[in-house]
Each structure stands twice: as structure tokens, then as C-alpha cells.
């Protein structure tokens, strides 16, 4: 954060120089993973990333879901394939890399779950101490991930906003670094690689719509920054997709500000949603996100808890992808846009599936049928369950 104005810092590159130093063909020869875009990342010449194989996630065409929705050009960028099961690996991998190089003593991070887990994991990989502060009731797997990696985990009553305020007070007293969203510029640079990959995977064509499940908003701002930089390098023709910020009805500060035509977000009182990563009542980047939605002709949509679960089931049933509730919200919002006729059958739509479902509590499901007894009895039970 800038000590003078309180706003975020951003990394700037000499983009003409980058464009002159690397070609699309040269890029194609490099191994997968986010550090293949090294020229567009804040790494010194000899700086080694703290690497667990993050990035390089699949861009999956969704033909069966598309047929179901009446949409022909639909993709999912499956960020659940990252180490730690979410795109947070990109941001925290990059931030921990920089923190190690800059010689910080320790890192403290406020989190709704996945960011804390990822920070702890990359901290372990780098040999850097990390402490995590999460709200009570944070999904168990993310807390376990952090604790298993050796990070002390603290809980607070409230939300990530409460955790953030606490760290802002405590971290300076300890001489530890506050790794809160967008208060340092490197997490954003890591998340930016989602956009760089997406551009390359779509052969440098820009999609019409980009559905993004929005909490703190670093992913959205990061992808936007990727397209800005690629446009400045002359690598893409269409500057930006239309960004759709997706939130849960129980915590929708960006959607509210969008509907109110406000310049910035106001703190959402009593945020509630089972999509933990969307439980961010006061995103630091609120103003910037709203600017991006306006500038790209995008919008903001809120979805209900029920719509999230239905979308999660639909994606798993049609394409076999068990995605996180946050990510399922992107599909729920797409259903709304389709029903309202705001996206058409031929529009190119990319949903960012920010995390994997395996890390989260599953929706209600049929219990497994236990098989025992004689052959005929077993066959009868199997028949009954299969309806065959």
C-alpha cells in the first residue's frame, strides 16, 4: 500500500521492451506453469520462484453443459487444478517468492480460507513463517491445510474484514508483513497469470464474457491487467472481455454498488454465504472493480445459496467437474444472464472456476447403498438403485 495516499501499488513493466524480447512462438516452447510468463512477472534476473507447480490449468470446453444451456461456445478455466485446490496458489506463490527475496521476517494473512492455506503452504516451501487469521466457521480443509503446513491459525468473530483490521494492528508491532489482498502488489501479479494463460489458450482471441466469482477482487483485477498488458504489447486485438462480477446474495457489496451506480462499495453488514471465498464485505479494490465493469461493458450479478448448489450439481452432472461453491456461483449467474437474454447462444463465455469442490463441504447427496447378503439380494439392491 502507498503510505502517502492509502491506495494500492501496481507493478508496471516496460511493455514495448517485453514485446521486443519475447515472441508468441518462443512462449509456446516453454514448459507450462505460470512462470513461463516471466517477462510479465516481478522476478529479478536470477530470482527463483517458490514453486509447487501452480498455473497451467486446463481451459475446458463444456459441450454437454453448453448443449443443456443452448450455448455453443462455453469454457471453464479450471483453477481447482492448482496446488492447494484454488487459484490462490498463483497469488500467494508469487507473493511469498517476493517476500523471501525482500527478506521479510514473517507473514500474517487475513483469509476466508483458501488464501491462508495457500500462504502457509508456500511459506513452508520457502522456509518463511506464516500466521493465518480466519473467521470462525472457516471451511475445515483450508484451516487444516494451513495448520498442517505449520502455520499458527487464529480465529476471530466476524469476517475477513475483522481479521484484516486485527492484522493491520498486530503485524507492525511484531515486525511481520501484512499480506492482505491488494495491500501488496505481488498477489495480483500472480493472479494475473490466469488472464495471460487464458489469452494464450484461446489463441489470442478475447472472449465476449468473463464470469468471475468476486470476493476481494484480485482475480478480476488481475485478469483485466493481463489483457491490458497484452493489448499494449500488440498481442491481442480486442482489448477486454465484458467482466461479470458474481457474488452471493448474502454478501454482495459490488452488486449493490453496481445497481446503485455508485463509485465505490460500502461495507456489507452481516455477510452470510456458504461460499466462503465470497464472504468479503468490504473489498479494498471495490472502486477499481466497478471501474472495470463499466469500462468493459460488464455487469454484476448476485445469486442465492440455492442457485449455487443447483449450479454445482449441474456442472458435476453434465461435465464431471466438482467445483467449489464460489465457482458454481459463476455458472448460476450465467444461467441468469441467459434467461434474461443478456448472453446469446453464440457468445464466447469463459467461467473462472476459482477452486475445487473437494476442499469444501459437499451438497446433500444420495447415501451409498450398502451391499451384503446373498447374490440375489445384492442384485436386487443394485437393480433398484440403478433403476434397471
Please report, as ranges, the residues that interact with ligand PLP according to CB under 6 A: 86, 88, 114-115, 181, 213-219, 277, 324, 326, 354-355
Name the residue nearer to ligand PLP (CB basis): 233 or 279.
279
In angstroms, give the least distance from the CB of 275 to ligand PLP.
7
Residues in the chain: 388
In angstroms, give the least distance from the CB of 333 to ligand PLP.
13
**Location of C-alpha cell 498481442:** 235
d(CA 100, CA 81): 25
In angstroms, give the least distance from the CB of 122 to ligand PLP.
15
C-alpha cell at 206: 478475447
Name the residue nearer to ligand PLP (CB basis): 88 or 301.
88
- 3-state SS string over the chain? CCCCCCCCCCCCCCHHHHHHHCCHHHHHCCCCCHHHHHHHCCCCCCCCCCCCCCCCCCEEECHHHHHHHCCCEEEEEEHHHCHHHECHHHHHHHHHHHHHHHCCCCEEEECCCHHHHHHHHHHHHHCCCEEEEEECCCCHHHHHHHHHCCCCEEEECCCHHHHHHHHHHHHHHHCCEECCCCCCCHHHHHHHHHHHHHHHHCCCCCCCEEEEECCCCHHHHHHHHHHHHHHHCCCCCCCCCEEEEEEECCECHHHHHHHCCCCCCCCCCCCCCCCHHHCCCCCCCHHHHHHHHHHCCCEEEEECHHHHHHHHHHHHHHHCCCECHHHHHHHHHHHHHHHCCCCCCCCEEEEEECEEHHHCCCCCCCCCCCCCCCHHHHHHHHHHHHCC
Name the residue nearer to ligand PLP (CB basis): 216 or 298.
216
Name the residue nearer to ligand PLP (CB basis): 18 or 111.
111
In angstroms, give the least distance from the CB of 217 to ligand PLP.
4
CA angle 283, 348, 363 (to 5 degrees): 55
d(CA 196, CA 218): 15
In angstroms, give the least distance from the CB of 265 to ligand PLP.
12
Name the residue nearer to ligand PLP (CB basis): 97 or 214.
214
Chain mean position to CA 238: 23
In angstroms, give the least distance from the CB of 86 to ligand PLP.
4
Chain mean position to CA 80: 9
Name the residue nearer to ligand PLP (CB basis): 206 or 214.
214
In angstroms, give the least distance from the CB of 360 to ligand PLP.
8
Name the residue nearer to ligand PLP (CB basis): 39 or 310.
310
In angstroms, give the least distance from the CB of 286 to ligand PLP.
11
Name the residue nearer to ligand PLP (CB basis): 215 or 298.
215
Name the residue nearer to ligand PLP (CB basis): 164 or 277.
277
In angstroms, give the least distance from the CB of 174 to ligand PLP.
25
Name the residue nearer to ligand PLP (CB basis): 15 or 120.
120
In angstroms, give the least distance from the CB of 188 to ligand PLP.
9
CB-based contact 161:17 (threshold 8 Å): no
Amino acid at each position: 500500500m502507498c503510505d502517502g495516499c492509502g491506495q494500492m501499488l501496481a507493478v508496471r513493466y516496460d511493455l514495448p521492451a517485453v514485446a521486443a524480447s519475447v515472441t508468441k512462438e518462443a512462449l509456446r516452447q516453454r514448459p507450462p506453469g505460470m512462470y513461463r510468463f516471466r517477462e510479465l512477472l516481478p522476478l529479478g534476473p536470477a530470482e527463483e520462484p517458490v514453486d509447487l507447480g501452480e498455473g497451467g490449468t486446463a481451459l475446458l470446453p463444456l459441450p454437454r453443459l453448453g448443449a443443456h444451456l443452448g450455448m455453443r461456445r462455453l469454457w471453464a478455466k479450471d483453477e481447482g487444478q492448482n496446488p492447494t485446490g484454488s487459484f490462490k496458489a498463483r497469488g500467494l506463490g508469487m507473493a511469498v517468492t517476493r517476500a523471501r527475496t525482500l527478506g521479510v521476517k514473517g507473514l500474517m494473512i487475513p483469509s476466508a480460507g483458501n488464501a491462508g492455506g495457500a500462504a502457509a503452504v508456500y511459506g513452508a516451501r520457502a522456509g518463511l513463517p506464516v500466521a493465518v487469521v480466519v473467521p470462525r466457521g472457516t471451511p475445515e480443509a483450508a484451516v487444516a491445510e494451513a495448520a498442517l503446513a505449520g502455520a499458527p491459525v487464529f480465529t476471530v468473530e466476524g469476517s475477513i474484514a475483522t481479521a484484516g483490521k486485527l492484522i493491520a494492528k498486530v503485524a507492525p508491532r511484531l515486525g511481520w508483513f501484512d499480506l492482505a489482498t491488494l495491500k501488496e502488489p505481488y498477489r495480483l501479479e500472480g493472479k494475473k497469470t490466469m488472464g495471460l494463460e487464458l489469452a494464450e489458450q484461446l489463441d489470442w482471441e478475447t472472449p465476449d464474457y468473463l464470469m468471475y466469482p468476486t470476493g476481494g477482487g484480485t482475480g478480476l483485477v488481475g485478469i483485466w491487467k493481463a489483457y491490458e498488458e497484452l493489448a499494449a504489447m500488440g498481442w491481442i486485438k480486442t482489448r477486454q472481455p465484458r467482466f461479470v462480477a458474481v457474488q452471493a446474495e448474502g454478501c454482495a457489496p459490488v452488486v449493490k454498488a453496481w445497481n446503485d451506480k455508485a463509485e465505490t462499495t460500502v461495507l456489507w453488514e452481516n455477510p452470510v454465504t456458504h461460499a466462503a471465498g465470497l464472504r468479503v464485505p468490504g473489498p479494498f479494490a471495490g472502486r477499481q472493480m466497478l471501474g472495470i465493469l463499466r469500462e468493459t461493458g460488464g455487469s454484476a450479478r448476485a445469486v442465492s445459496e440455492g442457485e449455487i448448489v443447483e449450479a454445482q450439481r449441474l456442472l458435476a452432472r453434465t461435465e464431471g467437474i466438482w467445483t467449489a461453491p464460489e465457482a458454481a456461483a459463476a455458472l448460476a449467474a450465467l444461467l441468469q444472464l441467459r434467461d434474461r437474454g443478456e448472453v446469446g447462444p453464440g457468445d464466447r463465455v469463459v467461467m473462472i472456476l476459482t477452486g475445487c469442490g473437494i476442499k469444501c463441504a459437499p451438497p446433500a447427496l444420495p447415501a451409498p447403498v450398502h451391499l451384503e447378503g446373498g447374490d440375489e439380494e445384492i442384485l436386487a439392491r443394485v437393480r433398484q438403485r440403478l433403476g434397471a
